[in-house]
Amino acid sequence: MPHAQPQLADLRRTAEVFNGFTGVDKSWLRLLADTAPAVDLSFAEHRTLLLRWLNSWGCRISYPSPDDPFDSALLLWWQTYGSALPQVSLAGLSDAEITTIARAYESLAAVTVSSRRTLSATAAAKALYALRPDTVMPWDAAIAKALHGSRTGAAFEAHLRLGRSWAQAVLAACPGQSVPDRVGRPAVSLAKILDEYLYVTITMPGGQTNGHRG
């Protein structure tokens, strides 16, 4: 079952798939380098870099014209939610912190990009991962539908609770060791490794193979 609790061996297998993608971490490492020490959306350049990175991850968001509200809307979202986003590991999230992230997600998904679209659920989840890579397990449409049946804020809250339980179980199975190192994906967090497990077991069999590359 794609939604079964992954074992370390499962994560190794899906890590091998991701390591087989050309330049799998290239755009992620570039984003980290260009925004060091962290993505901070109070900077206009970081907002532009985040959008560019989201498109490298398959979001297909049109770059806004000067008249579009995206940049100012994203800044307003950051001013409202940025300081409230937890800075803990996925395994260490409290119930209250998960609720906070889910509310931020719901608001971010509704941010207006242009007169034709909002940021959307998938891009919002990926953006939250970029902002808190140790904390947020992202999703795409296929994963959200398969596991939770929708992409609402409540569904994303359930997704983070699932990720927390998985992360805790994986860490308990290899105490004192780095899971990313153990599975051969040292450039990313455990939250992302769990997302990769879902991508390989759910999204790829459906034929959508480009949503998390780069």
pLDDT at 208: 47
Question: How many distinct structural domains can be found in the chain?
Answer: 1
Residue 212 lies in a domain: no
pLDDT at 16: 96
Q: Residues in the chain with pLDDT < 70?
A: 1-2, 206-214
pLDDT at 206: 58
Taking the C-alpha atoms of residue 23 and residue 67, their distance in angstroms, rounded to an integer, is: 34
What angle (nearest 5°) sits at the alpha carbon of residue 159, between those of residues 39 and 2? Answer: 115
Taking the C-alpha atoms of residue 192 and residue 207, their distance in angstroms, rounded to an integer, is: 20
Bond into 69 cis (ω within 30)? no
Residue 2 lies in a domain: no
Residue 39 lies in a domain: yes
Asked if 106 contacts 153 with a C-beta cutoff of 8 angstroms, the reply is: yes
pLDDT at 188: 97
Residue 3 lies in a domain: no
pLDDT at 2: 53
pLDDT at 68: 79
Output the pTM of the full model. Answer: 0.94
Query: Which class for 69: exposed (0-12), middle (13-18), buried (19 or more C-beta within 10 A)?
Result: middle
Q: Which residues span the domain enclosing 120?
A: 8-206
pLDDT at 1: 44
pLDDT by residue (tens digit) across 71-89?
Answer: 999 999 999 999 999 999 9
